[in-house]
C-alpha cells in the first residue's frame, strides 16, 4: 500500500466537517475546481460516513478523518476511503488500517509517540495540534533524532504559515480548514470555496523543498 507521503505528497489536505452528507459531492467538486484533489472528511458528525461513501468514486483522493476506533476503520474502509487520519496514535487503529490496505496517518505530539509509530513500520505522521506544539520549531527538533520521518502539520495551519510549513524538507503535506469553513459549507457557497482553494494552491506553488 502507498505511504502517506506517496498518497499526499505536496498536498493541501482540507479538514472537512459536514452536517449534511448531501453537499459532499458539490464540496469535493468545488475543491477540485480550485486545484485541491485530496480531501479529509471527518467523522466528527453523523454525516461523515455517508459523505465519504457519496464521493469515494470521484476523481479526488478521499480520506477519513477523526478515526478513533477499529470499528470506524472498518466502516470507512467499507465506505471507500483511501486513507485514514487520527488525532492521536492508537496501535489497534493503525494495525487494522494496515491490514485493510489503507494509508494511515496517526497524530503524534511527543517523541515517545513518534517512536511507537516507527515501531509499526510507519515513516509519516500527523503533528497535532501543530500550533500548540511549537509548529516548525517542533518539526525541526524532531527531525534531528528522527531523520527521514515525514510530517503533516495540522492545527493552526493558515495562509500566514502554510508556505513556510510546506517549504520544510520534512513536511510532505499540510492540513488546514480555512478554505472549507463550516459557515461557507452551510450556506452552500461553493464558488467561494473554489476561490479560496485556488488562492491556497497559488500561494503554495513552488513551496515544496
What integer pLDDT is reported at residue 205 of this predicted model? 87
Q: What is the mean pLDDT of residues 117-144?
A: 97
Question: Is residue 16 included in any domain, yes or no?
Answer: yes
Residue 29 lies in a domain: yes
Is 120 inside any structural domain? no
The parent domain of residue 37 ranges over 4-103+157-163+172-204
Out of 65-69, 89-93, 122-126, 203-207, pick the least confident: 203-207
Residue 128 inside a domain? The answer is: no
Residues 64-109 have pLDDT tens digits of: 999 999 999 999 999 999 999 999 999 999 999 999 999 999 999 9
Contact 85, 63 (CB under 8 A): yes
* CB neighbourhood size of 202 (10 A): 10
Structural domain count of the chain: 1
Report yes or no on 144 lying in a domain: no
CATH assignment at residue 195: 3.20.20.70
Residue 138 included in any domain: no
Residue 98: CA atoms inside 13 Å, Cβ hemisphere, count? 13
Is 126 considered catalytic here?
yes
Indicate if 113 belongs to the active site.
no
Q: Average pLDDT for residues 139-147, to the nearest whole number?
A: 97
pLDDT at residue 209, as a whole number: 43
Catalytic residue among 6, 126, 192, 208: 126
Is 30 part of a structural domain of the chain? yes
40, 74, 75, 119: the active-site residue: 40
Asked whether residue 186 is domain-assigned, the answer is yes
Amino acid at each position: 500500500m502507498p505511504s502517506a507521503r506517496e498518497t499526499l505528497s505536496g498536498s493541501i489536505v482540507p479538514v472537512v466537517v459536514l452536517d449534511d452528507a448531501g453537499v459532499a459531492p458539490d464540496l469535493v467538486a468545488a475543491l477540485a475546481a480550485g486545484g485541491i484533489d485530496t480531501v479529509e472528511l471527518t467523522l466528527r458528525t453523523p454525516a461523515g460516513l455517508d459523505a465519504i461513501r457519496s464521493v469515494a468514486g470521484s476523481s479526488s483522493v478521499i480520506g477519513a478523518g477523526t478515526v478513533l476506533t477499529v470499528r470506524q476503520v472498518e466502516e470507512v474502509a467499507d465506505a471507500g476511503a483511501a486513507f485514514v487520519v487520527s488525532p492521536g496514535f492508537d496501535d489497534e487503529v493503525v494495525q487494522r488500517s494496515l491490514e485493510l490496505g489503507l494509508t494511515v496517518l496517526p497524530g503524534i505530539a511527543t517523541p515517545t509517540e513518534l517512536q511507537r509509530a516507527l515501531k509499526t513500520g510507519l515513516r509519516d505522521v500527523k503533528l497535532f495540534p501543530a500550533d500548540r506544539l511549537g509548529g516548525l520549531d517542533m518539526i525541526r527538533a524532531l527531525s534531528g533524532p528522527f531523520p527521514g520521518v515525514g510530517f503533516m502539520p495540522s492545527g493552526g495551519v493558515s495562509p500566514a504559515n502554510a508556505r513556510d510549513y510546506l517549504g520544510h524538507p520534512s513536511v510532505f503535506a499540510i492540513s488546514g480548514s480555512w478554505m472549507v469553513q463550516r459557515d461557507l459549507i452551510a450556506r452552500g457557497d461553493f464558488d467561494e470555496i473554489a476561490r479560496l482553494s485556488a488562492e491556497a494552491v497559488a500561494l503554495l506553488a513552488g513551496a515544496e523543498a
